[in-house]
Structure 1
Amino acid sequence: MLHPQARVLIDLMAERGIAPIHTQPPEAARQQYRERGALTQPEPPALARVEDLSAPGPHGPIALRLYAASTPQQGRLPVLVYYHGGGWVIGDLQTHDTLCRQLAQASGCAVVAVDYRLAPEHRFPAAVDDCLAATRWVAAEAGRLGLDASRLAVGGDSAGGNLAAVASLYARDHADMPRIAFQLLIYPATDQRRGTPSHETNGDGYVLTRDTMTYFHDHYLIDDRHDTDWRASPLLHEDLARLPPALVITAGYDPLRDEGLYYAQRLTEAGNRATLVSFERMIHGFITMGKAFDETETAVQLCANELRRALA
């Protein structure tokens, strides 16, 4: 059953006539996403260190933001490189600022958020290229930044979960990437074909709709041939063995629910340690909605605990 707090939010959005993402041009959708976040996110916790950085990338400089609950003088910290959600079209450092602060505060790890390039201005695989380049740079500059590159995780929500899964696969097979110790996959998009049962059962009425997923898909991918490219659909990679331990979080009323479930299952079948936790009453996007949903705090703390354990 849908959580009563989720029903209240859905009804409130309908009452206020908030236009669905897929009915808006990207710039308007991005602004609405920022404004909506301001209403549903809790107050951002204060941290000892929040620093804006820039990394070089194949398409130009990449903006980053480093979060830590301690200063470099207090010792090198394990680090989570975090890729925000938003369908590869919306989202930025600010939309996920509170979540990154929460994860840094609760886990004891540093968090480096990546402001990767968005579609349709920068289409596939630009986001992948940026995330890989940023992760390499964080590892290379770890000593200067007070970070421990030997304890590096990747993570993200939705499109960011997709990018984290892709980065983990890429790092396994390429010597120019750092070793990734853990992957945090929050309702990840793993199959661009969008044909799982949850795309039908949860495709309308729960904020993220099948029409919005098609909007994101069509802005991000140049044509349908990319649906089966593992850099867009990591679930379709033929070999999911020898990957970092993973926490996969899904939401029961999310079109992406089954993509997360199937990915976690394939990770486990391939011999990896993968934990799946489904928040059955929640909708897509709930991890950043702590002002609206009580269960968000539980989910954030779960993520932080698993990060702390994996990178100890």
Structure 2
Amino acid sequence: MEEICGSEPCPKWFTLRTASSQPALSWKQHVGPGPDLPGSRLCVLTRGHSVGHLQPVFHCAHPGSSWPPRETESPSLHLPAAGDMETHHGICSRLCKESDSVVLAVGYRQLPKHKFPVPIRDCLVATIHFLKSLDAYGVDPARVVVCGDSLGGGIATVVCQKLVDRPDLPQIRAQILIYASLQALDLQTPSFQQSRNIPLLNWSFACCCFPRYLDFSSSWQEVIMKGAHLPAKVWEKYRKWLGPENIPERFKKRGYRPIPPEPVNEAAYLEVSVVLDVMCSPLIAEDDVVSQLPETCIVSCEYDALRDDSLLYKKRLEDLGVPMTWRHMKDGFHGVLTTIDMSFFHFPCSTRILNVLVHFIKGL
């Protein structure tokens, strides 16, 4: 990973497509950004007067900037979104319009062909290239925000952690994590137990996705359920960050039962130990990394198996003094934001989440 961070390729875009359902927006899609990213896509969305020409039109400087802002600069929102370009086109468009921001969406390579850590590497390389090309998009270098939902939220977290020690790049101003997947060690958290049968991320679907993404056998499902995929010394090491005592009591009232891990299954541990990689589980990154992270906005949903990932990471950030904004959707479920443009299938919670993002971005 360090090699990629230090010698990222400069994308060679050879296809440009513009389209938009919003008259004030230009949607630009670039395909095939370079030899290390074959098949991935970078999409840039910006407010502009002419299709195909990036022309920011809003003065959106960060308050308290140490230099006079240029009136042609816009804030930037980098979205390594879960799903794909189609499921998140509406979200990106509305974020661009309502927050007056340039939006970069990374169409990283996905399952089933591409597994961990390919999506993370794609997003990291794309982010570094974008940070080196801000002038081309009229972006304020003091207001770059990294954002993601679900798996994309975990990727956004890893990207921010990897870039804390890159003085050669503009600093990330903030990160936005929407019901993010932040750890794969413990799948018996209160929220996993409480939401095991709730769509869109129930236990069966999670046990299908995690093994495929991390490239280990799904036959270990029962072992993982019993906590026998990791040795006692690992559970003890990370209890300070993952233990249920770090989750407020009010989130444990709905059918939670502590399950002590059983003795380790060595064969499972050998195959499943990838979950200990901080690129897979950024929630367990060391304090000296997490303490350097930028201002953070976390959105969690009550009826979401990954809810407690957000609660645990929120506590870590607060304990280390990282500025935090947290919004909890009591009627929300995993993936609800993608319903924002689904007409009769739209859930009001999705609009509230979007409003949280817009308000946070405008306040930077």
TM-score interval (norm. to shorter):
0.7 to 0.9
- For the residue of structure 1 that corresponds to 2:199, the secondary structure is coil
Give yes or no for contact 1:155–1:183 (8 Å, CA) kept in 2: yes
The root-mean-square deviation of aligned C-alpha atoms, in Å, is 1.8
Percent of paired sites with the same residue: 27
Give yes or no for contact 1:68–1:110 (8 Å, CA) kept in 2: yes
Q: Which amino acid aligns with 1:185?
A: L
Give yes or no for contact 1:114–1:134 (8 Å, CA) kept in 2: yes
Aligned residue in 1 for 2:292:
242
Q: Pick closer, same or farther for the CA change 1:210–1:46 going to 2, 3 Å.
A: farther
Q: Which amino acid aligns with 1:80?
A: L
| Cα distance, 1:106 vs structure 2 | 0.8
Give yes or no for contact 1:76–1:146 (8 Å, CA) kept in 2: yes
| Cα distance, 1:57 vs structure 2 | 6.2
Aligned residue in 2 for 1:3:
none
Question: How many positions carry a matched residue from both structures?
Answer: 263
TM-score in terms of structure 2 length? 0.69
| Cα distance, 1:143 vs structure 2 | 1.2
Q: Which runs of 5+ in 2 are unaligned?
A: 1-19, 49-53, 58-71, 217-271
Q: Which amino acid aligns with 2:91?
A: L
Give yes or no for contact 2:47–2:56 (8 Å, CA) kept in 1: no
Give deviations 1:79-103, integer Å, cap 9, x for gaps: 1110112xxxxx2111100000111
Aligned residue in 1 for 2:147:
155
Q: Which runs of 5+ in 1 are unaligned?
A: 1-42, 86-90
Give deviations 1:29-82, integer Å, cap 9, x for gaps: xxxxxxxxxxxxxx9644332111243363436311111223526322111110
Aligned residue in 1 for 2:314:
264
Give deviations 1:229-253, integer Å, cap 9, x for gaps: 1101111112210111111001100
Give yes or no for contact 1:156–1:164 (8 Å, CA) kept in 2: yes
TM-score in terms of structure 1 length? 0.79
Aligned residue in 2 for 1:35:
none
| Cα distance, 1:213 vs structure 2 | 1.1
> 1:302, 1:57 → 2: CA distance?
38
> 2:159, 2:295 → 1: CA distance?
13
Q: Is 1:301 matched with 2:301?
A: no
> 1:204, 1:44 → 2: CA distance?
36
Give yes or no for contact 1:261–1:276 (8 Å, CA) kept in 2: no
| Cα distance, 1:149 vs structure 2 | 3.0
Q: Is 1:72 matched with 2:55?
A: yes
Q: How does 1:7-18 map to 2 (within 5 A)?
A: none
Give yes or no for contact 2:176–2:357 (8 Å, CA) kept in 1: yes
> 1:78, 1:301 → 2: CA distance?
17
| Cα distance, 1:228 vs structure 2 | 1.1
Q: Which amino acid aligns with 1:231?
A: M
Q: Pick closer, same or farther for the CA change 1:73–1:59 going to 2, 3 Å.
A: closer
Aligned residue in 2 for 1:88:
none
Q: Flag the structure with more relative contact order, 1 or 2, with Cα contacts below 8 A and sequence separation at least 6.
A: 1
| Cα distance, 1:286 vs structure 2 | 0.9
Aligned residue in 2 for 1:207:
200
Q: Pick closer, same or farther for the CA change 1:256–1:46 going to 2, 3 Å.
A: farther
